[in-house]
Amino acid sequence: MITSIELGDFLAHSETKIKFKDGVTIFVGDNGAGKSSIIDAITFSLFGQHTRKSNKGLIRRGANQGFTKIKFTINGKQYETVRKIDSKGSLAATFSEITNNERVEIAAGERKQFGESMTEQVEKIIGMDFEKLKIASIVQQGELNSIINAKPKEFKELLNAIIGIDKLDVASESMKKVTKEFREKIRTDLGYDDTHIEILERDFEKYQQDIKEAEPEKNQLELKQKEIQEELKTLQKELEIETPKIDKIKQLELRKNELLTYVKDTIEEIRQQISENEHKIRDCKGCFEEIKLKGNFEIKIQKIEEAVEETLKKIQEMSSQIASLKEKQILASKLQLKDNKCPVCDSTVEKLNPFFQEEHIKDEINRLQGDIKLKEKERDMYSQKRKEFLEKVQKTRDAEATLRAHSINNEEEVIKIQKETQIQKEKLPLLNNNNLKQISQIDNHAELIFQNISKLEVETKGFNEKEFLNLKKTIIEKQTIVSQIDQQMGGVLEKIDKAKKQIETIQKSILELKKVKEYILRLDKIQMNIFSRDGSVATSLRSWALNSISVKASEYLSYLNTKIQRIALSEKSRDVSIACYSKTEVLELESLSGGEKVSVALALRLGMASLLGSSNLNLMILDEPTTHLDAERKKSLVRVLSQLSEISNSQSPMQFLIITHDAEIFEDSNVEQIYKFESSDEGSKVIEI
């Protein structure tokens, strides 16, 4: 049982301490006064869980942290749980045993990764977890009578939850998962699972039929292939004889083309040679006549050059004389006789020396100048002659250069070239035709090619290229047919081989899958009979649970003042029914009074709590049990609740915590421990009344 609860800045409570006695404790107060917070305080302190949206919502507004502390006794031992939470969401928790007012820590925190969990230790001591406590020990608003007002199917679901049938559901799903994974593994390993056995058997028959149908086709193809291969052997022997001829035909054409090409090239060379020779002859014509005159012209040029040189010398001499006379002319102009006296010696003379007479000198200068002009004309004449002779000498030199360019040394060589050119000109008309024999006479090489042509013509005589091509075409057609038969044969053989392999594989797979199917049928049987909520195990569990609840509920009814002596729960089909018995008759639920229904509902709740193992804590919380009840039903409920102290004092004492806002209904009751909850600015206040 719970001996005390302490709340600090937890929900609406700033600082609240409540001590509990045996039996029934009533919490009264208006809505929002903090009564139901006690339920969250109990579950948070014990298990770290609650009905609020988040942990931070547990801290009283304006505070930085909150905590709950619960002391309780089980089997004569005293324990204490404390949980704290701050505004950052950090949690701290300790679970201790109190011996001689000293605390011995059992567990702290929830470091499950290190194998440390305070909640697990609390669950071991109490004998239940948060979910079971909610079902066994906490009756929420309006849920007290719901257990008897529920539909039979809903009652069955509640019972399933109480006895842990959901665990069977989990096990059943796990079993299904195991079966599914086993099937998937088999499908991965074999490519099939047990659901494919019929498909594989059909495939097995199909492949057998494929082999049966393919054998005659294979035999027919083999026979046809043999016939065509024999025909091919004969044709290929004939081809072996004729094939070398086609090669020689090709060689023959090549040789003919070679001869024609050679002759054509040779004709072109002859024409080119004729052209070159004619060019030589034209260039060399008259060269030898020019060369013969070369010596005579050179002698004449030499004489002309001597005459030119002599003329230039004469002109130079006369020019010098003119220059000298001009000097004397100047002097003579100064030597003038006055009174027949010499201007130099002043001697008397009749006349001056002609060499000192200005007129004489002038005449002499004119004469010399006239002679110079004659000499210059003579020089120009010699220069013109010299030019003409030089041009003729240059022609002789050009003739020599032409002869050297053509490598002609004498006139006999030119005559020889003329004769050869004439022979080549006469040969050209004979070569300019397609008569191979005739054109082969051009030279030795052409004649040798023609001999090869003649030999090849003898060797290929009688060869018919059209027939040869038809022979090759026939062979190719036969080979194509053989290839097609090979492909068809390959397809048939592949089909037979594939069918045989598939038959072998399918046989093995069917044998394996039949074992798998048998194994899975056993798994399904286990799943249906043991783990299904409607299987034999679940049915047995419900039968045992229904009997246990019936016995315990009937035991609790004996402490309540009702005409109902016994309650019997039974399962029919998928429903659970409730039967009530007096000493003499079966009582229908619809015929029971409000108080009797509350008694039955409370007894069933206590029976379920006992089944869940709540005897370790021996706690039952009723949250607003009067909600939605009329005045008559509220009175009936109070009468029943007033008798709870008798249950509390039984061999298996129970602690009851009743939360209600209808304080007046307990004014005339025999309940001794009542706490009143009031709201204030400092938080909820709790007063014992």
Averaged pLDDT, 195-223: 91
* Model pLDDT, residue 16: 94
* Model pLDDT, residue 342: 59
Q: Residue 92 corresponds to which tokens in the numbers above?
A: 């701290």
Identify whether the C-beta of residue 439 lies closer than 8 Å to the C-beta of residue 263. yes
Q: Residue 453 corresponds to which tokens in the numbers above?
A: 């042509």
pLDDT bucket at 265, cuts 50 / 70 / 90: confident
* Model pLDDT, residue 72: 93
Identify whether the C-beta of residue 273 lies closer than 8 Å to the C-beta of residue 424. yes
> pLDDT tens, 372-383?
898 888 888 888
DSSP state letter for 440: G
- Is a pLDDT exceeding 80 seen at residue 573? no
* Model pLDDT, residue 85: 93
Q: What region does 454 belong to: left with phi over 0, alpha with psi -120 to 50, or beta?
A: alpha
Say how far apart CA 374 and CA 365 lie, in whole Å.
Answer: 14
pLDDT bucket at 619, cuts 50 / 70 / 90: confident
What amino acid is encoded at 24 in this protein?
A: V
CA dist list (Å): 453 to 259, 325, 435, 449, 468: 9, 102, 13, 6, 21
Averaged pLDDT, 64-93: 92
- Is a pLDDT exceeding 80 seen at residue 301? no
Identify whether the C-beta of residue 523 lies closer than 8 Å to the C-beta of residue 178. yes
Beta strands in 146-217 (DSSP E): none
For the ranges 139-153, 163-177, 469-483, the one whose mean pLDDT is highest: 469-483
* Model pLDDT, residue 648: 56
Identify whether the C-beta of residue 587 lies closer than 8 Å to the C-beta of residue 564. yes
> pLDDT tens, 492-507?
998 999 999 999 989 9
Identify whether the C-beta of residue 671 lies closer than 8 Å to the C-beta of residue 28. no
- Is a pLDDT exceeding 90 seen at residue 7? yes
- Is a pLDDT exceeding 90 seen at residue 358? no
What amino acid is encoded at 294 in this protein?
A: K
Identify whether the C-beta of residue 58 lies closer than 8 Å to the C-beta of residue 44. yes
Return the CATH superfamily for domain 1-128+618-689.
Answer: P-loop containing nucleotide triphosphate hydrolases (3.40.50.300)
* Model pLDDT, residue 650: 56
* Model pLDDT, residue 47: 92
> pLDDT tens, 401-444?
888 888 888 888 888 888 888 888 877 776 777 788 888 877 88
pLDDT bucket at 15, cuts 50 / 70 / 90: very high
Between 321 and 151, residue with greater pLDDT: 321
DSSP string, 124-150: HHHT--HHHHHHHHEE-TT-TTHHHHS
Say how far apart CA 422 and CA 610 lie, in whole Å.
Answer: 148
Q: In terms of DSSP bridges, do strands 77-86 and 91-99 run parallel, antiparallel, or are they unpaired?
A: antiparallel
Query: By C-alpha distance, which of 605, 689, 673 is closest to 21?
Result: 673
Averaged pLDDT, 90-100: 92
Average pLDDT across the chain, whole number: 83
Residue 69's φ and ψ, nearest 5 degrees, are -135, 130
* Model pLDDT, residue 113: 58
Locate the domains of the chain by residue range: 1-128+618-689
Between 653 and 441, residue with greater pLDDT: 441
> pLDDT tens, 150-172?
666 666 666 776 666 767 777 88
- Is a pLDDT exceeding 80 seen at residue 135? no
- Is a pLDDT exceeding 60 seen at residue 329? yes
Identify whether the C-beta of residue 660 lies closer than 8 Å to the C-beta of residue 27. yes
CA dist list (Å): 208 to 61, 78, 190, 212, 667: 83, 81, 21, 6, 93
Residue 578 exposed, middle or buried by CB count within 10 Å (0-12, 13-18, 19+): buried
Map tokens 């394996």 to a residue: 512
